[in-house]
Amino acid sequence: MLLGFVAAALLGYAWQARPRFGPLPGTEVTEAQAPELHRLVREVARVLGAARPARLVLIPEVNAFMGHGGLPPRPTLGLGLPLWYGLPPQERVAVLAHELAHDRSGDPARTGLIGAALHMLAQAYTVMQPDSVMRFNPTILELIGNAGMALLAWIPLGLYRLLLELIGADHQRAEFRADLLAAGVAGTPAVATALDRLHLSHLLESALHKQRHDPERPHAFAELRHMWDTVPEEQRQMRRDERAAQRTQLSATHPPTADRLQVVLSHPAGAQLRLDDAWAARIDAELLPFVRPLEAQAYDDYRDRYSS
């Protein structure tokens, strides 16, 4: 029985860790669907001196990413629709510039070999961890098997953390470089205020809940913007202090926001590219057809987190 569990776990690991050549996740938005957004991305890349992404995808998170997917791998920009609608225009330029800067500045965690290794180890840990079904009313043999797999799962987890530790300093330096390059495009104030709003990313859940039960705005992402704009300064400062107190290790994916703010503010730069209200409104209109599906997906993710 135990050997069966081990064999099944190893087969599952081999399947999950297999090379993947598909596109990165997200809802693709083409240039035909959003010409003004693609024009903005082109302009940011031009000012930055970075390559223009081949694909642009939308995700239902307060997040953005720059990665490579497909065969052959193509640069893909992922843009969180809650983040886009939650930010004022110039801060949107800061987010785009930060992500595009990663391809220019270099980040060891985003290169093919290291990124693939991190993905493989993460998948191995996920596969080897007994899930809730395996833990429900187990027999003695299943208990032994679950315990053995849980112990084995520490091997890929340890290797994952070791690899992040080894590249941690370079990985975090890449984040600082991306922030500074973004400041040279959008201006230091826009980068600083965008970073500060990330202290309040947890409010997306509140916005989703309110929009479902007591809507006052067109959609949850507009509700998030309202919450970010009106949250009391005392609450903002409390979140800043909480984050500043959490001094991160090198294995963390990002440096502390407080440190990123300090670095950005110590190197002031003016904006080279301005996104005015009219241009921003045209982009918002282009993205409106994507709002409802991604809002529903964000709410499903929120509900799944709490139901589990």
Residue 239 has a pLDDT of 86
Q: What is the pLDDT of residues 17-72, one digit of tens each?
A: 555 555 678 999 999 999 999 999 999 999 999 999 999 999 999 999 988 777 77
Q: Quick check: is 11 in a domain?
A: yes
Using CA atoms, how far apart are residues 139 and 145, in angstroms rounded to an integer? 10
Please enumerate in sequence order all residues whose Cβ is within 8 A of that of 292, keeping only pairs 6 or more positions apart, or say none: 219
Number of domains in the chain: 1
Question: How, if at all, do strands 74-80 and 55-59 pair?
Answer: parallel
Q: Quick check: is 96 in a domain?
A: yes
Share of the chain above pLDDT 90, in %: 52
Tell me the CB-side half-sphere exposure of residue 131, using CA atoms within 13 A: 6
Residue 48 has a pLDDT of 95
Residue 105 has a pLDDT of 64
Low-confidence ranges of the chain (pLDDT < 70): 1-23, 105-138, 141-143, 145, 160-161, 163-171, 246-254, 307-308
Using CA atoms, how far apart are residues 103 and 52, in angstroms rounded to an integer? 10
Residue 124 has a pLDDT of 67
Task: Compute, in degrees rounded to 10, the torsion defined by CA atoms 133, 134, 135, 140.
Answer: 140
Residue 248 has a pLDDT of 47
What Å distances lie between residue 253 and 224, 234, 238, CA to CA?
25, 28, 23
* Residue 148: domain span: 2-16+27-295
Tokens of 264: 């950005």
Region label for 166, one of left (φ > 0), alpha (ψ between -120 and 50) or beta (otherwise): alpha
Using CA atoms, how far apart are residues 43 and 35, in angstroms rounded to an integer? 12
| Side-by-side strand order, sheet with 55-59 | 27-28, 55-59, 74-80, 64-69
Q: Say if residue 72 is preceded by a cis peptide, omega within 30 of 0.
A: yes
Q: Quick check: is 302 in a domain?
A: no
Using CA atoms, how far apart are residues 178 and 186, in angstroms rounded to an integer? 12
Q: Quick check: is 190 in a domain?
A: yes
Residue closest to 235 by CA, chosen among 198, 200, 193, 189:
200
Residue 242 has a pLDDT of 81
**How high is the mean pLDDT of the chain?**
82
Using CA atoms, how far apart are residues 308 and 296, in angstroms rounded to an integer? 18
Q: What is the pLDDT of residues 100-124, one digit of tens each?
A: 998 776 555 555 555 556 656 666 6
Q: Quick check: is 33 in a domain?
A: yes
Q: Quick check: is 108 in a domain?
A: yes
Q: Quick check: is 70 in a domain?
A: yes
Q: Quick check: is 169 in a domain?
A: yes
Q: Using CB atoms within 10 A of its CB, is residue 193 exposed (0-12), middle (13-18) or buried (19+)?
A: middle
Report which secondary-structure segment, H or E, holds 67.
strand 64-69
